[in-house]
Chains A and B, each alone.
Chain A
Amino acid sequence: MDVRKSEIQPGEPLPLTDSVYRHGVNTMVEKEDRYTPTIYFFDLSQTDKNTGYSLSVDWDKKTTPEESIIRIGCSYKTKPDFEFKNYKNRVIYALEIAFIDSLDWISKIEYSPTIHTKEILGHPNNKAHSLVFYDKAEYAQNRPALLTELRNHAKDKKIEFDMTKVEVFVEKCRKNKK
């Protein structure tokens, strides 16, 4: 019997036909008289390195840009704890999965939703969450190439979103938490 999966399961690669969203703080991603988006936008944090050299993104088939920003507004900052992140200063760029997959320095692009059985305060579920795994071996050597290519690809792929809609949902979510 031909059994086909109708849904991509956690841990499986994302389809090459889709895109992922990457969001960041506007002042860090878009700088006056600088190349936009900045290569910082695609760089790994120390936490990302500790968790397998992977970059967090949202799969566009499972979220809208507005939902991505709402999740930020409902999330706590890394430090200090129990303070919500600023969501009004965010920008989103899209990356085509086929392009990411074509780069030599990427090992896989994997669906990795974060869904808690019970919702955790300041850590909203994200059914769109996915990970782009950078090749850990020779990362230092590959890093300039990887960041440059991702940046160049994203250059004209800024995603607009409706902030009014976002504000309504974030305020609601924050009130519910009080």
Chain B
Amino acid sequence: MTQVVENRKINYLDDIPNYYRGNKTMILWSVDSINNDEDSNINNEDFFTKSPLKYIKTPISFAVADTDFVLPYDLSHIKNAITKSESILKLKENWDEEGALPTDKKTFLNAIRFIIKYSSYLLESKEKTVLDYPDISILRDGAIAVNWETKNASFTIIFEKDDKDVSYYYAKEKNSFIPLRYGVNIKGDIDKTTAIWMSENLKYNQGNPFR
């Protein structure tokens, strides 16, 4: 798949950075192979059709809960899950006819920031892990649950409505009897233990028994 990036003119392959940051945007380039001899005469018009650049991917800008976010193109499935979940904010008190409480923007955004932070970090890591998309749901007291399920593992983290720094999660590999129950500081730096576990167990397209 090839896309024109904002009519940007690119003259030389050498000018193309592997990784470019502009104003609030990020462009990721994946280069399959570059054969300078073969492509040295390429002009701008031909660039996108003849270039050895197989994938030119625009970053995805989107807004949820009146807040702007940007995700790399490879995480568009995660963006879709996030925007789909925004309807949670519209639920009023007693939304389940059993006295359930609504959530609030702060709690919802804590969950969204966690997803974006870890999925972006893993994609930029040495392993370039593309994280699967999670199920984002509201709980009865207005807390937000984020749940990943793959064929081999399950990960559930709950963001309580009290805006605490620590959120608790449960991570379990299906062939292991020793699950991980852990508290992670959601407002601090990336927790490496959590990130490594996610990278190993929650890859996109691993197969999901619930879908």
Q: Which residues of A contact B (CB under 8 A)?
A: 24-25, 28, 31, 33-36, 38-40, 43-49, 77-79, 85-86, 140-145, 147-148, 152, 155
Contacts and interface: CB of A to CB of B under 8 A. Distances in A.
B170 A144 contact: yes
29 contacts: A33-B211, A35-B135, A36-B210, A39-B145, A40-B96, A43-B139, A44-B141, A45-B98, A45-B100, A45-B140, A46-B140, A46-B141, A47-B99, A49-B141, A78-B97, A78-B99, A85-B97, A86-B97, A140-B158, A141-B183, A143-B158, A143-B168, A144-B145, A144-B156, A144-B168, A144-B169, A144-B181, A145-B156, A148-B147
Contacts of A40: 96, 137-140, 145
Contacts, number: 90
Interface string B146-184: 010100001011101000000011101000000101010
Q: Report, nearest first, the 4 A-B pairs whose CB atoms are least far apart.
A: A35-B210, A144-B170, A145-B170, A144-B156
Contacts of B160: 140
Nearest to A145: B170
- Sort chain B's interface into a size bin: 20 to 34
A35 B140 contact: no
A39 B156 contact: yes
A34 B210 contact: yes
Contacts of B94: 77-79
A148 B172 contact: yes
A142 B182 CA distance: 10
B95 to A, nearest CB: 8
Contacts of A152: 154
Interface string B118-152: 00000000000000000101111100010101000
A40 B143 CA distance: 10
B13 interface: no
Nearest to A138: B168
Given A35-B147, A148-B154, A148-B156, A25 B97 contact: yes
Contacts of A143: 158, 168
B113 to A, nearest CB: 18
A40 B101 CA distance: 12
Given A78-B97, A145-B179, A147-B145, 15 more contacts: A28-B96, A31-B137, A35-B210, A40-B137, A40-B138, A44-B141, A45-B99, A46-B101, A79-B99, A86-B97, A144-B156, A144-B170, A145-B156, A148-B147, A148-B156
Contacts of A144: 145, 156-158, 168-170, 181
Given A43-B140, A144-B145, A145-B181, A34 B135 contact: yes
A45 B99 CA distance: 7
B141 A45 contact: yes
A120 to B, nearest CB: 18
B98 A78 contact: yes
Nearest to B211: A33
Interface string B197-209: 0000000000001
